[in-house]
Amino acid sequence: MTGSLLRDAAAAGVALAYVVLVIAALLPAPLLFLVFAVLLVLAELWLSRQMPDLLPRLLRTQLGVRFRLLSLDVLTAVLAARFVPERSVIVALAVVAVALLHGGRDAAGIFARRREWRRGGGPVSWRNLAVPGLPHPVVPREVAALSVPLALLTLLLPLGFAVGEATDRPSAALVAELAVIAVVALYIAGRIVQYLLLNRLSHDAVRAKVQGAIEQLAPQVVVHFSGRRGTVEQVLLWTPVLRGLGRPCLVLVREPTHIAALDGCGVPVVFAPRSQDVELFMVPSVRLALYPSDVTNINNHLIRVPGIFDVLIGHGDSDEPENRSPIARMYDEIWVAGPEGRDRYAWPASGVRKDRIREIGPIRPQPSEPVPSALGDRPIVLYAPTWENVLDSTDLSSLVERGADVLDALLARQDVRVLFAPAAPTGARLQDYADAVETLGRRVAAGGLEHAVLTPGQVPAALAQAAFAVLDVSPLVSEAIRLDLPFAACTIRGRTPEAMRTMFPTLGAGAVLEHLPEDVFRALDDALGPDVRAPQRAALRRRLDGDETGDVAQRFGDAVTDAIAAQHGRRAFARPATG
């Protein structure tokens, strides 16, 4: 049975079960009610874990699983009123039990989320840092939509009425109701005690302990990062050179999605969700702040803290709009790889002075995962589209617009191995992009042979081994040029090839694909043959990286030393003394 048919069958089955429950409650027919209640609860438990969005979507309602089970509880109370209308105590206790069950299910979700929140650190979190008096935070576990014990406890009430009908003893229903009330009351009481224990330290006390640990670390350099899900690689790019500085450093992230990936990176990491947390954790030792992403409204939370030298370091050399934005004027300096990065700010309205731009050489991603092995030695071709970025105006991805045509053209060639590598953050902002990754991934898998979909960690190794790559405007273009890898980029948003090369100068060293699949075939044939753009790549590499004398890590360390010295010399902006 296909996934679609399974979903339709599941929805129809659940809808039918509710219809039967209504009829059984009104008749009344306790035994029939029990049978379908058991089937329904088991189905809800399975669906809530396997397909949590199925029923709300197919039944055209926003009611989640707990509200649907509330309907089952209400029908149980109706069954009580119809089965023993003369026994007012049993009917009243059925209503009380139903209310407590609903409250208990809510409490289960609330307290489970609270427990996981506390296990993750609570109001803030940290990694690679010892905080005296606090347990080391762990990655929170996903909280199930439905508590299994409480869902099964729901069946005790219909069981009591079924037993009462079978034995002609309505008191069985009374026993079931009292048992449910007692169990739920004890459960809620236990959860309240757990809540009090979890919150024996206030939020401010937790923050104060983390601040104390940061003061003990005494970092001189802070990397401040904010970004969408999957963008943490922008920080990981810099952790090797941070570890080599010989100075205490701290990474400050603003979203919780990044912190697990930074566990074990070798640099202390703190999650600071509030702007007040940023100010609290900027202890007196901090002299330099580095910003891998230019998220202005979030970076401002640290830039406004006095006594710190602020530097935009970016996350790789590219022609993306953020690498030439006039907003960069708010930083004290901008560090780029080479002359090409400097020239991006050399337009009249940028307002960035030349003396505020420093060339430090390229910080390059290191291969962390190998490319999947395959039989044969067919040349590797890579399609690695970028993600949709944070705004439509800065979206340079070809994935949705041209991705299917690119992959179809590459897969049509029987003389190459195709690797598809969507960027890690793809779909973080727009669901269409996540859907496109899933669809194109299935297309690559259906192509058979040695074709494969890569993880983000496999992309550096794939670039190093590829014979040709189709890329979007992103740091991968600069990396392809450094590797002397023939590459191409698609025209997007109705731009002509000439307009693409004018707006994004690094594309001058590659092919620009306008007509598919013909342009793909021509560019691939050239890459596997004469490679006519090799001279352009060599010339552009010199402009990308500039003076390649000296170790990049050493140049980065020298830049850090100079920035800290410059901050020490700023009397007017010295950090106020703390009392």
The 3-state DSSP class for residue 126 equals strand
Closest of 144, 170, 24 to residue 84, by C-alpha? 170
Residue 117 lies in a domain: yes
Q: Last residue of a domain, which of 359, 390, 411? A: 359
Taking the C-alpha atoms of residue 436 and residue 427, their distance in angstroms, rounded to an integer, is: 9
For 520-539, what is each residue's pLDDT tens digit?
Answer: 999 999 999 999 999 999 99
Structure tokens at 421: 């590598």
351 backbone φψ class: left, alpha, beta (φ>0; ψ -120 to 50) = left
Taking the C-alpha atoms of residue 265 and residue 279, their distance in angstroms, rounded to an integer, is: 24
Residue 562 lies in a domain: no
Residue 415 lies in a domain: yes
For 102-158, what is each residue's pLDDT tens digit?
Answer: 888 888 888 888 888 888 899 999 999 999 999 999 887 777 666 788 888 989 999
User: Letter for the amino acid at 243?
Assistant: R
Q: Averaged over 289-308, what is the pLDDT?
A: 94
Both 417 and 321 in a single domain? Answer: no
Say if residues 296 and 391 touch (Cβ distance below 8 Å): no
| Percentage of the chain lying above the pLDDT 90 cut | 73
Taking the C-alpha atoms of residue 323 and residue 336, their distance in angstroms, rounded to an integer, is: 9
- Here the CATH number for the domain that contains residue 97 is 1.20.120
Residue 21 lies in a domain: yes
Both 189 and 308 in a single domain? Answer: no
First vs last C-alpha separation in the chain: 71
Other C-beta atoms lying within 10 Å of the C-beta of residue 416:
22
- Here the CATH number for the domain that contains residue 346 is 3.40.50.11720
Taking the C-alpha atoms of residue 313 and residue 292, their distance in angstroms, rounded to an integer, is: 5
Both 330 and 435 in a single domain? Answer: no
Residue 192 lies in a domain: yes
Give the β-pairing of 417-420 and 380-384: parallel
Both 449 and 516 in a single domain? Answer: yes
Residue 287 lies in a domain: yes
Both 497 and 531 in a single domain? Answer: yes
What Cα–Cα distance (Å) separates residue 577 from each residue in 283, 300, 446? 11, 22, 65
Both 154 and 252 in a single domain? Answer: no
Both 182 and 223 in a single domain? Answer: no
**Confidence label for 226 from pLDDT (cuts 50, 70 and 90):** very high
pLDDT at 572: 46
Q: Last residue of a domain, which of 148, 166, 198? A: 198
Residue 160 has pLDDT above 80, yes or no: yes
206-231 b/e (C-beta count within 10 Å ≥ 16 → b): bbebbbebbeebebbbbbbbbbbebb
Which residues partner with 252 through β-bridges? 224, 270
For 61-87, what is each residue's pLDDT tens digit?
Answer: 444 555 566 788 889 999 999 999 999
Q: For residue 390, how many C-alpha atoms fall within 13 Å in the half-sphere facing its CB?
A: 14
Both 24 and 146 in a single domain? Answer: yes
Q: Averaged over 315-334, what is the pLDDT?
A: 93
Both 399 and 348 in a single domain? Answer: no
Give the β-pairing of 417-420 and 452-453: parallel
Residue 352: exposure state from Cβ atoms within 10 A (0-12, 13-18, ≥19): buried
Domain interval for residue 290:
218-359
Residue 576 lies in a domain: no
Both 345 and 408 in a single domain? Answer: no
Residue 213 lies in a domain: no
Both 309 and 430 in a single domain? Answer: no
Both 416 and 539 in a single domain? Answer: yes
457-491 b/e (C-beta count within 10 Å ≥ 16 → b): ebbbbbbebbbbbbbbbbbbbbbbbbbebbbbbbb
Q: Averaged over 407-414, what is the pLDDT?
A: 95
Residue 246 has pLDDT above 90, yes or no: yes
pLDDT at 62: 40
**Confidence label for 579 from pLDDT (cuts 50, 70 and 90):** very low
- Here the CATH number for the domain that contains residue 512 is 3.40.50.2000
**Confidence label for 375 from pLDDT (cuts 50, 70 and 90):** confident
pLDDT at 578: 45
Structure tokens at 177: 């109701």
Report the number of distinct structural domains present in the chain. 3
